Structure formats: structure tokens, C-alpha cells
Amino acid sequence: MITAFRKTAETFATGAKTLEQSYFVSPEIFAEEQEKIFSKQWVLVGHQSQIAKAGDYFVAKVASESLIIVRDKGGEVHGFYNVCRHRGTRLREDRNGHLSAIQCPYHAWTYGLDGRLLGAPHMDEVPGFDKADYPLHAVNLASWEGFTFVSLAESPTPLEEWFAPLAGKFSHWNLPKLCSAKRIEYDVRANWKLIFENYSECYHCPGVHPALSKLTPYDAAENDLATGPFLGGFMPITKGNSLTMSGNACALPVGDINAEDFHRVFYYSIFPNMLLSMHPDYVMVHQLWPRSPERTRILCDWFFHPGAFERADFHPNDAIEFWDMTNKQDWHVCELSQQGIASRSYQPGPYSPRESIPAAWDREYLRYVS
């Protein structure tokens, strides 16, 4: 949604073109992305409020791996490969739920919520067998502003180091405390990079989003992060008080928001799979999960202040409907792009000065993939 008008960003984008066709259709490049980006970088899997109580868990699929993200009895969150240490069986088939222990459906080896093997029938008859040698394999897991990230890398850059450019930047938004009121899952028939490129400009807004354009003018954006893995800035809300169907605020303010920011919406892309959209009264987060060169699964959550839920002035659907409509408008043009890019006639096209952020995103992406 961001359109840069800063002189430096515009100059930087001059001459930039969209990516070659192969980046959007090639199974080899898709495999390379899965290996070099999604199996190496910190990727978003959820928010701590999704597993608020001990024993709450959800399953995430990262690259080709299935992971169990679970809160243990001491309140600590762990990530484990969803693989039994006995004969490798998938432990949990469901997407989320509540457990007191993780038991394999095959021969009933049982693991604690901290991954320790607690029970293994008849294995005490095996000479030298020690349960302590067979905990679940853990995955690197860390939290940023309440959001849970995992990395499949053996020794990833510490998460605090990766997020250092954003340290403290969003603290007044109260992100760790927020709770999701709604999740919508989208199956988009477009390459995942088209979703980032679409999110990163509002050049398309007048034609694609008539309702959005009435509330927030497409050409009035300001980026404060114009290079690197985190990109974005804000757009003013010039009509109404929030981006909702009614134009009214639909909940308590999410955090300690200053007067100026009450009339702004902040859009940031967090490489490689998070879109963070902060409104005065709610925060929308997209998780992007590439499924094939032409297909992306998108999970979209709407987060609100925990105190908003019980109040009479809580109208989450006002925000959810607005962005569900706007999301679908975006996915549609991304799918049309995918179709055209697959044509033999496609050639990289020139980015406009209002597409400096997509161009910056492409440059960052190309640092990881040859």
C-alpha cells in the first residue's frame, strides 16, 4: 500500500524493472527459495495469544517441515519437529488444540510439552536405552513483539539481531498484548512475491480499491524504511477515523497512540513472510506461505486490544469486512499478473516512481536467490 515520494527513494527506483519470468514460474527457483529463504531465515508462524495457556499448540508447515509450536507448563513456548523419535511417525495431524502431553499415535511414545520423552512402552527392556537420549528435535524459536518466529537454520542470526533495525519502533503499539478476533485463510493462485510487490505500492489503489482510496489518498504515503528486509511507512487517513466499512473506529485504540498516528495507517513488510498493517484500532497481519510457483496460502489475522472484546463499542466485522474486500481485490490483480507473466510474451516491465518499495523488495530478495 505504500507509495514512496521521497526524492531519494524515487531516484533509487529509476530504471528498475520487474523480475524475469522464471522467478514467478520456475520450480527450480521455487525450490531454491524454499531452501535459501524459508529454510534459513526467521519466518513468522503465529502470535503468542494463539497459545495463551499451557498445553495450547498449533502446527505450522515451514518449507516442507511440519512443526508443533506448544506452550509448556512453565509458560515457555517451544517448537518441535512433528516427528516421533521411535519410527519417525507424524505426531499431530490436526492444526491446533490443547494437550497435556504429546503422544505418538503409533506405539504411544509420550513426550512432555517441553519435548522430553516421558514414556516408551517396553523400551526399558532394551539394554542401554535411556529416555533422555530421545527428546523431540527442537527448532529455533523466538519472539518479536509477541509474534512467534522459527528458523530451520542450524545456527541462525539471533532474532534480536535480525530485528535490531526495528528495536523499540513499535513498542507503543502494544503488539504482544493484542488478541486475534478473526483469521481468514486465502488460497491465492499467484506467486508469493507478487503479493509483496502488490502490498508495497498504492499506484494500483485508485482503480483496484475505490473504497480504500476514499479514506486514504493513494499518493500521500511516506516511507521511513526504504531499503533492506523491512520496508514501509505510513499513509494518512484523511476521511473517517479508521479503515473500516463505516469509516468509524471499531474498537479501543490498540496501544498508546499519539494524536498524529490516530490518523495514519502503517504498512510494513517483514521479509520473508509477514505483512504488518497497523491501524489506530486494530492490527492486521498476513502470513504468506508459498505452496508452488503459482500458488500462495495466506493467513490473515485481525488483532485487537484485549480489553476491546467485552465492550459495546467493539465492532470487529467493520474492519474485517473492509479488509476482506480489499484483500480479495488485491489477490485478484495478483492472479491476473501471474497469468500474464506466464505468457511467452512477458518481459520485465519498468517500475514507476511510485513503485520504489516493490523495487527495493526485489533487490533484497535477489540477495538470497541467485
The least distance separating ligand FES from the CB of residue 134, rounded to whole angstroms, comes to: 10
The least distance separating ligand FES from the CB of residue 26, rounded to whole angstroms, comes to: 37
- Give the three-class secondary structure for 330: helix
Choose the contact partner of 36 out of Fe ion, ligand FES, none; CB within 5 to 8 A by kind. Answer: none
| Residues in region 58-87 near ligand FES by CB under 6 A | 84, 86-87
Q: Which is nearer to ligand FES, 107 or 297 (CB)?
A: 107
C-alpha cell at 77: 513456548
The least distance separating ligand FES from the CB of residue 119, rounded to whole angstroms, comes to: 10
| β-bridge pairing 295-304 and 102-103 | unpaired
Among 261, 318, 330, 355, binds Fe ion (CB under 5 A): 330
Q: Identify the CA nearest to 283 among candidates 304, 300, 299, 263.
A: 304
Tell me how many residues contact ligand FES (CB under 6 A). Answer: 9
The least distance separating ligand FES from the CB of residue 100, rounded to whole angstroms, comes to: 17
Q: Which is nearer to ligand FES, 73 or 87 (CB)?
A: 87
Report the residue number whose CB is nearest to Fe ion. 330
Helix axes 316-341, 192-199, angle to 10 degrees: 120
Give the whole-angstrom CA distance, residue 80 versus residue 365: 28
Stretch binding Fe ion (CB under 5 A), from 10-18, 59-67, 248-256, 328-336: 328-336
Distances (CA, A) of 34 to 46, 243, 292: 19, 34, 10
The least distance separating ligand FES from the CB of residue 118, rounded to whole angstroms, comes to: 12
Q: Which is nearer to ligand FES, 109 or 314 (CB)?
A: 109
What residue spans of 44-191 are helical by DSSP H? 159-162
Q: Which is nearer to ligand FES, 137 or 328 (CB)?
A: 137
Q: Which is nearer to Fe ion, 36 or 204 (CB)?
A: 204
| Residues in region 91-120 near ligand FES by CB under 6 A | 104, 106-109
Dihedral sign computed on CA atoms, order 48, 50, 53, 59: negative
> Partners of 184 in the beta sheet?
300
Give the whole-angstrom CA distance, residue 298 versus residue 305: 23
Dihedral sign computed on CA atoms, order 339, 342, 347, 353: positive
Answer for the pair 110, 91: CB distance below 8 angstroms, yes or no.
no
C-alpha cell at 330: 488485491
Q: Identify the CA nearest to 182 among candidates 51, 57, 298, 284.
A: 284
Choose the contact partner of 291 out of Fe ion, ligand FES, none; CB within 5 to 8 A by kind. Answer: none
201 touches Fe ion (CB under 5 A): no
CA diameter of the chain:
74
Choose the contact partner of 109 out of ligand FES, Fe ion, none; CB within 5 to 8 A by kind. Answer: ligand FES
Q: Which is nearer to ligand FES, 26 or 89 (CB)?
A: 89
Q: Which is nearer to ligand FES, 81 or 268 (CB)?
A: 81
> Partners of 236 in the beta sheet?
264
The least distance separating Fe ion from the CB of residue 45, rounded to whole angstroms, comes to: 25
Residues in contact with ligand FES by the rule CB under 6 A: 84, 86-87, 89, 104, 106-109
Residues at the contact surface with Fe ion, assessed by CB under 5 A: 330
